[in-house]
Amino acid sequence: MNSTAISETNSSMQTILSDLKQLTKVGLSFSVVFSSVAGYLLAVDVINYTTLLLLAIGGFFMVGASNAFNQIIEKDTDAVMQRTKNRPLPTGRMSVNFALTIAVAFTILGLSILYSINPKTALFGAISIFIYTCVYTPLKAVTPLTVFVGAIPGAIPFMLGWVAATNEFGIEAGFLFMIQFFWQFPHFWAIGWLQFEEYKKAGYNMLPMNTKDKGAVKQIIFYTAIMILVSIAPVLKVSGNFYIYPATAILVALLGCIMLYYGVKLHKSEENTDARKLMLASVLYITVVQVVYVVDKFLH
């Protein structure tokens, strides 16, 4: 085999790997795994590293499957939008059959691995894939309420870790779910604001009432406030075994106020730059808050 053939083989392997990464959205999958691991650590006194590893791998496959199904369904609309037109399916670099094989394989692997932890974890994993693929994705072209539907699978990973650790869905898992559920609204509506024109081209309704105006930002501010209240509520010991110190609650509230600040700023300016800052602040919030909760737990 000459050097040209070898380099061509290498480059085609790199293309396939890169396409698989895009199809399963590896970056997003890792952030979901991060949430699940945080939820697990919040629930345990002694870490079972086998369970933790199974949760991370199973969660990764679960999200990868959801993203692959999503891109199969949205192949034609992805071709219309600047941000998505170079994905493997709209460009034809990958066939739908191949993508479907990956999606099904990831679903089976992910749910089998989660089932090996306990059946409840697998059940919530299956619910997450089903809602994301069969309800959220088709509704994007129908109603702005799709964001509410999408927030359900989006909020499952944080509580999935708790369920994996305890084999039960109680008030604690419910609170973890609510924190990530309410967080999704400012996060996704900030993205919806930034991508409004692009989404419109594809016929998607991703802002409340499908309008890019102060009314949409009022909703962002409202849900950010609810998110902060739910995030600090564990300080009142209303959430079972999941509670936080007052100093932690203050830190979480301050982090939430950064999002609130950019929400108010966006309300005044209606500028994309402020929507971008809000979106980045929301990513910072959910990441740091989960770390802060885990640190707080191990200080108890």
Mean pLDDT of the chain: 93
pLDDT score at 23: 94
State mean pLDDT over 207-225.
93
Whether the full predicted model's pTM is greater than 0.95, yes or no, is no
State mean pLDDT over 225-236.
97
Token digits of residue 236 = 């009142």
Token digits of residue 58 = 């199973």
pLDDT score at 178: 97
pLDDT score at 244: 96
Dist CA 107 CA 26 (whole Å): 15
Q: Confidence band (pLDDT; 50, 70, 90) for 300?
A: confident
Label residue 45 exposed, middle or buried (CB < 10 Å: 0-12, 13-18, 19+). exposed
Half-sphere exposure of 158 (CA within 13 A, CB side): 26
State mean pLDDT over 248-257.
97
Report the Cα–Cα distance between both ends of the chain, in Å, rounded.
62
Statement: residue 2 has pLDDT above 70: no
User: Residue 185, SS3?
Assistant: helix
> Is 90 within 8 Å of 73 (Cβ atoms)?
no
State mean pLDDT over 281-287.
96
State mean pLDDT over 155-162.
96
pLDDT score at 1: 54
Statement: residue 270 has pLDDT above 70: yes
How much of the chain, in percent, has pLDDT values that exceed 90? 84
pLDDT score at 203: 87
State mean pLDDT over 128-135.
96
- From residue 284, how far is each of 67, 143, 262 by CA, in Å? 22, 28, 13
State mean pLDDT over 209-220.
92
- From residue 31, how far is each of 96, 184, 244 by CA, in Å? 26, 14, 23
- Range of lowest pLDDT (50-59, 176-185, 193-202, 227-236): 193-202
pLDDT score at 123: 97
Statement: residue 5 has pLDDT above 70: no
> Over the stretch 174-202, which tens digit does the pLDDT of each residue have?
999 999 999 999 999 999 999 999 998 88
